[in-house]
Chains A and B, each alone.
Chain A
Amino acid sequence: MTNRLKKIFTVVIPASAVLAAGTAWFVTRFPASSFEKTGSQGEPSAQLVARGEYVSRLTDCVACHSVPGGAAYTGGLKMVTPMGAIFATNITPDRERGIGAYTLADFDRALRSGVAKDGHRLYPAMPYPSYAKLSDDDVKALYAYFMKGVPAVHLENRKSTIPWPLNMRWPLAFWNVVFAPSDVYRPDTSKDAQWNRGAYLVEGAGHCGACHTPRSLAFNEKGTDSRSAAFVSGALIDGWFAPSLRNDANTGLGRWSEDDVFRFLKTGRNDHAVVFGSMTEAFNNSTQFFSDDDLRAVAHYLKSLPGDGQRDGTPWQYEPTQTKALQPAGRQGIPGAQTYMAKCSFCHGADGRGQGQWVPPLAGAASSLVPDSSSSINVTLNGSGRVVAAGVPDSYRMPSYREQLSDGEIADVLTFIRSSWGNRQSPVMKPDVKKLREQTVPASSSPVILKTR
């Protein structure tokens, strides 16, 4: 008995203590920042702050760390997970409620490793698995911008509604070890400089995969770089289906040229599509501010990602199938055809081909060809957001049909669209429309719904 007690005191307890201390250190302090030994750099140059502002456009921090009508970077955006809601935080340089007390190393650890200054883990709703690839120079510039270029706002963060014990964050340290890339972007020497710049922007700063890459059950993106076939292959997020950015002829960028991709990200539109859904914000706040060289690099890189013919199906070709059916007599017998002519055709054309770059086609559109009908339903119910290119709002915008069309009418008209002009998708069902109608309430600032599939 004494022996056993002695053993407990001399071996088990110290060992447990060391293990606990080790774990505590690991979950709150690991990994260290490469700036740990960097002392204060003094006042950053105006040039560095300006460079940081540009990097903040690439990383689009404002998209989540602001709410409509609120001051920039004060957080508050609600994100709903199956466990409860979380809120984006105040990242203005306020010393108490923002990140004003952060050193460069603290900032770096939050940005690239997902660890806050006090050691708590950030949820990967913060795209640190992508930002991990940011270069030291860009992190330094971004820090300079957030400390000197952003006005401090004394606004308190909102508390997460996730209950104990699910709200414990330390296990995320282990999640990170398994799922989050932990190294800066390393150029692929077999590729040219433009491709590598594009990869850095798409995989890293632009965190395109946060929406466009499907997630597995553990919420991790199924691929984080060009080596994975799942990377930016399309995913359902927040009531929208973010389409494939790979060379899938139907559901991706297969029919787009590099110049088409460039113009889409620069002006918000091209002959294939106009930004809508969550991409409107990404365009309004971020992509249009990329330099032309950076956008061309993004286009060059994306066009190098192979599609998956098996998933994508037979490449779409235009078929003038509905010309006769859309005559006044013909359309009366086809569910959806009359609604199409009365509500959709004046903009999208009786031929489904839209109006040049100004109104997008529905014939051959990724949203018409992808099996998941969420984007089609969502944009019909709620319309599209204001697209502001170079300070000028768009002339043409998809109106909301929430009040005008019933679930059945929307299901019928979308079924018609998704089976016309060479589009061959399964029918849209009434319950799908009903579900999205309930989930998306345009009048309130609707929360971001994080989902896996």
Chain B
Amino acid sequence: MELNINGIQHHVDVEPDTPLLWALRDDLAMTGTKYGCGLAQCGACTVLVDGQAVRSCVTPVEKVAGASITTIEAIEQDDLGKRVVAAWVKHQVPQCGYCQSGQVMAATSLLRQVPHPTDADIDAAMVNLCRCGTYNAIRAAIHDLASGSTDGGA
């Protein structure tokens, strides 16, 4: 199966129903994307497929062959993604960090759809779980990004 990940074509030899998460982590050793619940409930495994946030643990590779997949490893190659990471650093969002690659992907997807999200928009879109409770820091970082004060070089 051919997968386009972060602009690079990869060949993976897996069953068509293999979750994308396992192709990424086990076959391609891209371990930045995390396994949390395996049931699309927590969001730790979030990646972008054609710009949309998807849960890679419930995405059969068959479904994304031919699509453009972006993982946390390459998020900073994207201007918006780079700004999100910078804001995450500025606001010191991560605590243990396990869920944060998924949070960054979800935030990037939200800001691409809605450049100036309200609190309600953030609540609606950022449904990834964080055991450390970094939700307030996430919200502050997203508002900061929306107001444009965090530049990519920060």
* Interfacial residues, chain A to chain B (CB-CB below 8 A): 327-329, 331-332, 338, 341-343, 346-347, 355-356, 358-359, 395-397, 399
Contact = CB atoms under 8 A, between A and B. Distances in A.
Given A328-B113, A355-B60, A396-B58, 18 more contacts: A328-B117, A328-B121, A329-B114, A329-B120, A329-B121, A332-B120, A332-B124, A341-B127, A346-B40, A346-B58, A355-B58, A355-B59, A356-B60, A358-B17, A358-B60, A395-B18, A395-B60, A396-B17
26 contacts: A327-B113, A328-B110, A328-B113, A329-B114, A329-B118, A329-B120, A329-B124, A332-B124, A341-B127, A342-B124, A346-B54, A355-B58, A355-B63, A356-B60, A358-B60, A358-B62, A358-B63, A359-B58, A359-B60, A395-B17, A396-B17, A396-B19, A396-B58, A396-B60, A397-B39, A399-B41
A336 to B, nearest CB: 13
Interface string B113-154: 110011011001101000000000000000000000000000
A139 B55 CA distance: 50
Contact of A346 (B55, B114, B118): B55
Q: What 4 A-B pairs have minimum CB-CB distances, sorted nearest first?
A: A346-B40, A342-B127, A346-B55, A328-B121
Given A355-B59, A395-B19, A331 B124 contact: yes
Most A CB within 10 A of own CB, among B60, B110, B117: B60
A356 to B, nearest CB: 6
- Kindly name the residue among A328, A347, A399 whose own CB sees the greatest number of chain B CB atoms within 10 A: A328
B60 A399 contact: no
Nearest to B64: A355
Contacts, number: 55
Nearest to B19: A395
A347 B117 contact: no
Contacts of A356: 60, 62-63
Given A328-B110, A359-B58, A395-B60, A341 B17 contact: no
Nearest to A401: B41
Nearest to A339: B127
A396 B39 CA distance: 8
Interface in B23-62: 39-41, 54-55, 58-60, 62
Contacts of A343: 41
Contacts of B40: 346-347
Given A355-B59, A355-B60, A328 B19 contact: no
Contacts of B117: 328
Contacts of B114: 327-329
A342 B60 CA distance: 19
A59 to B, nearest CB: 31
Contacts of B125: 328
A346 B56 CA distance: 9
A308 to B, nearest CB: 35
A414 B58 CA distance: 21
Contacts of A359: 58, 60
Interface in B49-100: 54-55, 58-60, 62-63
B79 to A, nearest CB: 21
Nearest to A383: B39
Nearest to A269: B17
Contacts of A331: 124
Q: In this complex, which of B19, B40, B55, B60 has the most chain A Cβ atoms within 10 angstroms of its Cβ? A: B40
Contact of B58 (A328, A338, A347): A347
Contacts of B60: 355-356, 358-359, 395-396
A31 to B, nearest CB: 50
Contacts of B17: 358, 395-396
A343 B40 CA distance: 8
